[in-house]
Amino acid sequence: MALLALRLGHLLHAPPAQRRIRSRRRQSVVVSCSAATVSAGAAAVVWFKHDLRIDDHPGLVAACAERRRPVVPLYVFDRRILAGYSDTMLELLLFALKDLKLVLKSQESDLLIGLGNAEDVVLKLVNEVQAGVIYTEEEVEHSVRIVLANVESSLSKGSFAWGEPPDMEVWSAPLYDYKSLRGLSTSRNQFLKDKLSMAAPVASPTFPALSVESYTGSLPTLEELKVFLEESRTTQDNWVNIKSMSARSILKANLNRNNVKSNVTLTVDNGGNVEDITPNAGSTGRKIMDSMFASESSLQVRGGTDLTLDALAAYLKYLEGTGKANWQELHDKVRFAETRDGASFYTLFGAAIQLGVISRRRVYHETIQYERDRNAGFLSPFGYSTPTVTSAVDAICSLEWYRLLALKSQVCIEATYPLNFWRWKGYLIQYTSVGREGPAVLLVHGFGASLQHFRDNIGSIADEGHRVWAITLLGFGRSEKPNVDYSELLWSELLRDFIVDVVREPVHLVGNSIGGYICAIAAGLWPSLANSLILLNSAGSVVPSYSFIPLSKEGRTLWLSGLQARLLLLFLRSRAGGILKEYYPTRTERVDKPLVDEIIRASYDPGAKTVIESIFNFNLSIPLNFLFDSFGGEILVIQGMKDPLTKSESFVSMLREHCSNVHIRELDAGHAPHDEVPDEVNSVLCEWMKMKETELKSALEKSSAI
């Protein structure tokens, strides 16, 4: 890929979309780095990714510290960094970049625009401007960390007229003032007891003038960017469109197609899709001057730092009322977005924080300053004075906590397999991948557990010639626990997107307990995702001759659920070990300290209570046999017959009587047979997958022959 904004010529063959975008940029740019002002190799490149601002930007501050040094800001449209961005997120990205470009121009600088692989773009730019250092933000997402590693590798192998390759300086803007990641406790309880001081945001630097002889490149339109990303996809990305419909919509369509009645109104559009009828999100029906949103129906603040700060001020002053039309529009959006107590903050500002339009510590600083101003400089030890202040502080501290957990996982290897993070809908999701070849397997844990629950399955299955993936669901383990409504359908969409975006091929889906039920939903709604389905003491039930399936209705959680969740958390923390031993009736020694400690540790994480609340709103009403019929593939049920949570004899009997294509293996174990008797389960799993792969290979050969 060629760099759009620089005088680099046609260095690489560009795809059609890139050529169309480049046709609007026929002029070239020459960044002046003359010997009279700077020695060769002394320019600084600031590579923007998820830090689209000049406020509270330590990388920019460091780059501008030497006044005679040219500072070259750069943004690269790299499909690997943008993978998973929705059309809405791409639009918000372009709004943010447009503002950043204008702000830089007002400082006699500019934002150079690249399109393609970052390692190619950065290498060409470094040579063009004779850069001696590159500043870029520290990342936690595995895919983006790979891109950074590729850039460093490309630079180390490059040839530079002035000698040594440029240094790569990685910076961060932590909310807490800590000395070392290794020294940070992973227990939220202990972390709060340490009482770390909060780091203050840094002011915007003064920029040295960027001498540009000609055109620096303009931003692509949304349509151009979508076409570029579409044409950048490989054959493995062909099923990305599978994510276009929600689980709820597909489920409704399946019910409609099978003439199964439900408690929801099924509305079919002209295209045959069944969708919920949702009113415009806080829309007033009138045009708002200086609107903070991309459209009347949008719930996400758009634009640059100044606009976002203004939106934050409006949000914090929600209870005070306003005479400003754009502030009133935001207040209307708050009422619509507050589906749960405190949920509105992330709904409105989550995208801006993810894009780095505003830093976490700037939000925290502005929020606390407002609280002080409101209370004559006083901060009460009993809580904050308004719900919006509480929501903002809780959300920012939660985001920072999970970022720290993710970063610490990259530094301190605590398991026998790598722990990586993937960003889903803005949230950090922990996962691992072991094995370099063979069929793909995805392991999904049960309620309250994490991928570590497959501690003695991951490596063993990989050793038998499989590529094993295991994921920690949203709300559990070290994955983020946001303030959202948790449901089986939400988690099924998470599995869908993980398979499509990360694994990128069909898998053998393996799930325990509620994880098994979620796997069954994913396989039933998107059959192409799964080569086979394997359930380990799955939640859910078999309903003979189902004719009516009630679906859960999305709505506000009752206050009683919050009280119940608090009490349940206290009970679980005090009796975790004893409760787990009941689930391991044949091998109670498997309930060891690491297993218990991680479950208790996670219970103190921000948002843990919200996840527990979901127990009281679960509606496992979709029959397993309906999901099996929708899947249409082969299913293996491994059942621990001594499960204290399930009447296993009755469950197995119902499966045999009412489900086709189901194979059952009964084991002398409890609710988590994969961890209680891992060797037995691993043997059964590998035998099953070997048989299924042989059948798939045979079917493909017959299909090819035809």
Burial 19-41 (b: 16+ CB within 10 A, else e): eebbeebeebbebebeeeebeeb
Q: The CATH number of the domain where 639 resides is what?
A: 3.40.50.1820
pLDDT of residue 186: 93
- The pTM (predicted TM-score) of the whole model is 0.91
First CA to last CA distance, the chain: 40
pLDDT greater than 90 at residue 140: yes
Tens digits of residue pLDDT in 296-316: 889 999 999 999 999 999 999
| 8 A C-beta contact, residue 538 and residue 637 | yes
Which residues does residue 150 pair with via DSSP β-bridges, in sequence order? none
Q: Give percent helix, percent strand, percent coil of the chain, each to the nearest 5.
A: 45, 15, 40
pLDDT greater than 90 at residue 594: yes
Tens digits of residue pLDDT in 348-391: 999 999 999 999 999 999 999 999 999 999 999 889 999 999 99
Instruction: Return the number of other C-beta atoms located less than 10 Å from residue 285's C-beta.
Output: 6
Q: Which residue has the higher pLDDT, 567 or 679?
A: 679
Within-domain flag for 261: no
pLDDT of residue 560: 72
Kindly state the DSSP code that residue 586 receives in the 8-state scheme: T
Average pLDDT on 568-594 reads 94
Average pLDDT on 199-209 reads 92
pLDDT greater than 90 at residue 568: no
Domain total of the chain: 2
| 8 A C-beta contact, residue 430 and residue 472 | yes
pLDDT of residue 35: 38
Task: Report the candidate in 144, 147, 148 with the shortest Cα–Cα distance to residue 169.
Answer: 148
Which residue has tokens 């793909």?
Answer: 440
For the sheet containing 131-137, what is the strand order? 112-115, 71-77, 43-48, 131-137, 167-171
| 8 A C-beta contact, residue 422 and residue 501 | yes
Q: The CATH number of the domain where 98 resides is what?
A: 3.40.50.620
Q: Which tokens belong to 15?
A: 């795809």
Within-domain flag for 646: yes
pLDDT greater than 60 at residue 272: no
**Angle, helices 142-157/118-129, rounded to nearest 10 degrees:** 40
Within-domain flag for 697: yes
Tens digits of residue pLDDT in 430-454: 999 999 899 999 999 999 999 999 9
Name the average pLDDT for the chain: 87
Phi, psi of 70 (to 5 degrees): -65, 135
| 8 A C-beta contact, residue 60 and residue 100 | no
Average pLDDT on 86-100 reads 96
Task: Report the candidate in 624, 494, 486, 627 with the shortest Cα–Cα distance to residue 554.
Answer: 486
pLDDT of residue 677: 98
Within-domain flag for 449: yes
Kindly state the DSSP code that residue 501 receives in the 8-state scheme: I
Domain residue limits at 138: 16-173+213-235
* pLDDT band at 549; cut points 50, 70, 90: confident
